[in-house]
Amino acid sequence: MYNKIFPPKKIALPNGKIVLEKRSKAPLILLIVMIAVYYSAQVTGFSFEVIIKRIHEFFTIILEMLKPNWKYFDDIIPELLVTLKMSFFGSVVGAIVALPAAVLASTNIIKIRVIDSIFKTVLSLLRTMPTLVTALIATYVFDLPATAGTIAIFLFTISYVGKLLYEAIENADMDSFEAMESIGMTRIQAFRYAIMPQVLPGYLSTSLFCFEGNVRYAAILGYVGAGGIGNLINETIGWRDYSSLGMIVIMLVITVYTIETISEHFRKKLI
Amino acid sequence: MTTVEKQLLAAPRNYRYLLTVSTILFILIAWSVTEISLEMNNNGMKIASNIAGGLLHPDLDFLFNLTQNGVLYLLWETLAIALLGTLVGAVLAVPLAFLAASNIVPKPAAWLTRLLLIFIRTIPALVYGLMFIRVTGPGPFAGVLTIGITSIGMLAKLYVDAIEELDVKVLESMTSIGCTTFEKIRFGIIPQLLSIFLSVMIYRFDMNMREASILGLVGAGGIGAPLIFAMKGYKWEQVGSILIGLVVLILIIEFISNKLRTKLVNG
């Protein structure tokens, strides 16, 4: 289609042969992107003028945050622990539930098409729901804020780990699985001894990676009333107490960094 | 004893290590379960069924409304925020990525930039949102800046990986045939980086769609604000139509982004 509208350039080589060089699509793509950007700027009211005039407000807040309020430490610790508990429990249970879900979603283990597609659809629907929205819904249903947060993290972990796991299972080498079935093992046994060893390192490493991300996510869940350090973030911003906010951010950075380092250590060991 | 059995017995077993790790895991699980109880709100079940009802019977007028209050316009706004925000982030991330690449700048400078990137990455998006509302006032513009800043962390990290894997041999051979610095950058470096950078950007755009949909919770534009108002007002039909619109849009974007990225990676 594109080649018909913009015919390829003809280049005559010294030996008389004619070669065709296809026109680059870059200008067209660039034009489309520019139009999209122009309309986006219109819709969002983007203006450099405002940024230049008012950006100092942003840095005032940053400067306030750089003078952390160390006394706030004692208030942060319990909420931080709640955040960690929420993300840890949600991730563990989510990763465990993701295993059967992924098996049921993979076409090479379960040969019934309907079941596969049902589970795949459920997994991708769960993945598209923003965690904060799930948490918000959960706060309406459950009594304890931390439970709502855990449920949100649990659902996200299932979808994330489940998707990567069923992709791994579908790409696994099926030869040994078939061999085991042929000598009379049941499909479950064959799965346990042929497929599990292949996907296990990837599965554990994905779960750890997901846990890392969940700690970061759990930090904001409190904003919608789902427990954890987000409550404090919400409060300090409400009171414009930016030095306490700075303290929260510092604690959060330390925690996230520690967890990332630990999980990276184990992930390197797994692969 | 057959050879197979001997080999099986000879395999290294680190029971002690496994035992320690699983004990720690169990202690952590036991510790974390204390915070959770499945006790439901008095009318929790009723609300859950209301939400399900709302999802099954969405407010169709609201969903296909073309005015500024309809779901379609809000989704369009969310899309615009994500697109512009990704662009802002992608531009800001380039210099930071070069400053964090250990084969471009000296080690201490690279390490400092990385520390800065960790800080930028860890501050939750909602905090940036609230900070930018002070700058631009509530509205989608604050959302654009927020998405831009939050994207920097991940984009720069993935850019750095690409920059550190640059093939220097190409540059050497270009020097040897007498290319100028500009030519070296244009024909030696950009072709190597562009496709990876673009693929990372598209991936981040995909993620930013989700981010942009929650920024409305703090008043930074997009579909989040109507969603939270509808929920606070128990208008579950509207919640249903917003969620359906959002999920469909995100799935479409994800599909397109996957297609584009495979095309970019395979050339």
Inform me whether the pLDDT recorded for A102 exceeds 90: yes
CA angle B265, B90, B87 (to 5 degrees): 105
Is residue B265 less than 8 Å (CB to CB) from chain A?
no
ipTM of the complex: 0.80
Q: Could you tell me the pLDDT band of residue A1, with boundaries at 50, 70 and 90?
A: low
Cβ contact B44–A89 (<8 Å): no
CB contact at 8 A, A249 and A233? no
Q: Which of A13, A37, A65 is the last residue of a domain?
A: A65
Minimum CA–CA partner of B39 in chain A: A143
Highest mean pLDDT: which of A150-164, A207-221, A231-245? A150-164
Higher pLDDT, B40 or A266: A266
Q: How many domains does chain B have?
A: 2
Domain co-membership, B22 together with B119? no
What is the rounded CA–CA span in Å between residue A132 and residue A154? 12
Per-residue pLDDT at A226: 81
Domain co-membership, A35 together with A76? no
Domain co-membership, A144 together with A187? yes
Domain co-membership, B11 together with B101? no
Higher pLDDT, A18 or B27: B27
Cβ contact B243–A129 (<8 Å): yes
Per-residue pLDDT at A137: 84
Q: Which of A37, A65, A93 is the last residue of a domain?
A: A65
Domain co-membership, A31 together with A91? no
Identify which of A101, A264, A213 has the alpha carbon closest to the alpha carbon of residue A167.
A101
Identify which of B90, B244, B82 has the alpha carbon closest to the alpha carbon of residue A43.
B82
Domain co-membership, B24 together with B92? no
Domain co-membership, A155 together with A240? yes
- Please compute the mean of the pLDDT values over residues A204-215 and round it to a whole number: 90
Interstrand relation of A18-21 and A9-12 (parallel, antiparallel or unpaired): antiparallel
pTM: 0.83
Domain co-membership, A51 together with A176? no
Report residue B208 as tokens: 């930013």
Q: What is the per-residue pLDDT across B146-205, written as a single tens digit (0 to 9) for each?
A: 999 989 988 998 898 888 888 888 888 888 998 888 888 888 888 888 888 888 899 899
Report residue A221 as tokens: 């869940």
Q: Is residue B42 part of a domain?
A: no
Secondary structure (3-state) at A55: helix
- For the domain that residue B192 is a member of, what is the CATH number? 1.10.3720.10
List all residues of chain B from 138 to 177 with a beta carbon under 8 Å from chain A: 139-141, 143-145
Inform me whether the pLDDT recorded for B125 exceeds 90: no
What is the rounded CA–CA span in Å between residue B177 and residue B191? 18
Chain B CB contacts of A53 below 8 Å = none
Chain A to chain B Cβ contacts (< 8 Å): 164
Chain A CB contacts of B124 below 8 Å = 216, 219-220, 230, 233, 252
What is the rounded CA–CA span in Å between residue B68 and residue B61? 13
Domain co-membership, A168 together with A266? yes
Domain co-membership, B134 together with B248? yes
Q: Which amino acid is at B41?
A: N
Q: Which of A29, A46, A65 is the last residue of a domain?
A: A65
Domain co-membership, A23 together with A142? no
Mark out the alpha helices in A8-144 (DSSP H runs): 26-44, 48-65, 73-105, 113-128, 131-141
CB contact at 8 A, B238 and B245? no
Per-residue pLDDT at A161: 94
Chain B CB contacts of A245 below 8 Å = 127
Q: Could you tell me the pLDDT band of residue A95, with boundaries at 50, 70 and 90?
A: very high
Domain co-membership, B152 together with B244? yes
- The CB-side HSE value for B205 (13 A sphere, CA atoms) comes to 24
CB contact at 8 A, A36 and A215? no
Is residue B260 less than 8 Å (CB to CB) from chain A?
no
Inform me whether the pLDDT recorded for A154 exceeds 90: yes
The shortest CB-CB distance from B80 to any of A40, A144, A223 is to A40
The whole domain housing B9 covers 3-34
CB contact at 8 A, B236 and B50? yes
Q: Is residue B39 part of a domain?
A: no
Identify which of B256, B47, B102 has the alpha carbon closest to the alpha carbon of residue A32.
B256
CA angle A190, A193, A199 (to 5 degrees): 110
Write down the mean pLDDT value for chain A: 86
Domain co-membership, B218 together with B101? yes
Cβ contact B213–A133 (<8 Å): yes
Q: How many domains does chain A have?
A: 2
Domain co-membership, B70 together with B180? yes
Q: Going by C-beta distance under 8 Å and a sequence separation of 6 or more, which residues neighbour residue B1?
A: none
Q: Which amino acid is at B186?
A: R
- The CB-side HSE value for B140 (13 A sphere, CA atoms) comes to 24
Q: What are phi and psi of A20, to 5 degrees?
A: -105, 130
The whole domain housing A76 covers 71-270
Inform me whether the pLDDT recorded for B58 exceeds 80: no
Q: How far is CA B241 from CA A56, A121, A125, A190, B54, in A?
A: 40, 19, 15, 44, 8
Chain A CB contacts of B127 below 8 Å = 233, 237, 245, 249
Per-residue pLDDT at A223: 81
Q: How far is CA B155 from CA A211, B62, B208, in A?
A: 20, 36, 12
Chain A CB contacts of B246 below 8 Å = 128, 130
Domain co-membership, B152 together with B260? yes
Write down the mean pLDDT value for chain B: 84
Q: Is residue B50 part of a domain?
A: no
Q: Is residue B44 part of a domain?
A: no
Q: Could you tell me the pLDDT band of residue A235, with boundaries at 50, 70 and 90?
A: confident
CB contact at 8 A, B78 and B213? yes
Domain co-membership, A55 together with A37? yes
CB contact at 8 A, B70 and B133? no
Domain co-membership, A37 together with A109? no
Inform me whether the pLDDT recorded for B92 exceeds 80: yes
The shortest CB-CB distance from A58 to any of B45, B126, B131 is to B131
Q: What is the per-residue pLDDT across A23-48, written as a single tens digit (0 to 9) for each?
A: 777 788 889 888 988 888 888 888 88
Q: What is the DSSP string of A174-200?
A: -HHHHHHHHTT--HHHHIIIIIHHHHH
- Please compute the mean of the pLDDT values over residues A3-20 and round it to a whole number: 77
- For the domain that residue A150 is a member of, what is the CATH number? 1.10.3720.10
> What distance in Å separates residue A109's CA from the closest CA in chain B?
25
Per-residue pLDDT at B133: 85
Domain co-membership, A88 together with A220? yes
Highest mean pLDDT: which of A206-215, A235-244, B42-51, B256-265? A206-215
Domain co-membership, B202 together with B99? yes
* Interface test mutation site (partner A, options B32, B50, B252, max chain A beta carbons within 10 A): B32
Cβ contact A46–B119 (<8 Å): no
Minimum CA–CA partner of B80 in chain A: A40
Domain co-membership, A210 together with A260? yes
Report residue A58 as tokens: 């942003």
Domain co-membership, A39 together with A9? yes
Is residue B92 less than 8 Å (CB to CB) from chain A?
no
Is residue B56 less than 8 Å (CB to CB) from chain A?
no
Domain co-membership, B13 together with B132? no
Inform me whether the pLDDT recorded for B40 exceeds 70: no
Counts for chain B of helices (H) and strands (E), in that order: 13, 0
CA-derived radius of gyration, chain B: 25
Q: Is residue B134 part of a domain?
A: yes
CB contact at 8 A, B57 and B240? yes
Q: Could you tell me the pLDDT band of residue B267, with boundaries at 50, 70 and 90?
A: low
Identify which of A220, A216, A224 has the alpha carbon closest to the alpha carbon of residue A136.
A224
Q: Going by C-beta distance under 8 Å and a sequence separation of 6 or more, which residues neighbour residue B52?
A: none
Per-residue pLDDT at A96: 94
Domain co-membership, B93 together with B25? no
- Please compute the mean of the pLDDT values over residues A193-197 and round it to a whole number: 90
What is the rounded CA–CA span in Å between residue A104 and residue A183? 24
CB atoms within 10 A of CB B64: 12
Q: Is residue B49 part of a domain?
A: no
Per-residue pLDDT at B17: 85
The shortest CB-CB distance from A44 to any of B48, B134, B221 is to B221
Report residue B84 as tokens: 């512009």
Q: What percent of chain B lies above the pLDDT cut of 70?
A: 97
Cβ contact A143–B40 (<8 Å): yes
- Please compute the mean of the pLDDT values over residues B127-146 and round it to a whole number: 85
Domain co-membership, B73 together with B118? yes
Query: Virtual CA dihedral for A250, B142, B212, A215, nearest 10 degrees?
Result: 10
What is the rounded CA–CA span in Å between residue A269 and residue A266? 5
Higher pLDDT, B165 or A2: B165
> What distance in Å separates residue A20's CA from the closest CA in chain B?
19
What is the rounded CA–CA span in Å between residue A263 and residue A252? 16
Q: What are phi and psi of A185, to 5 degrees?
A: -80, 155
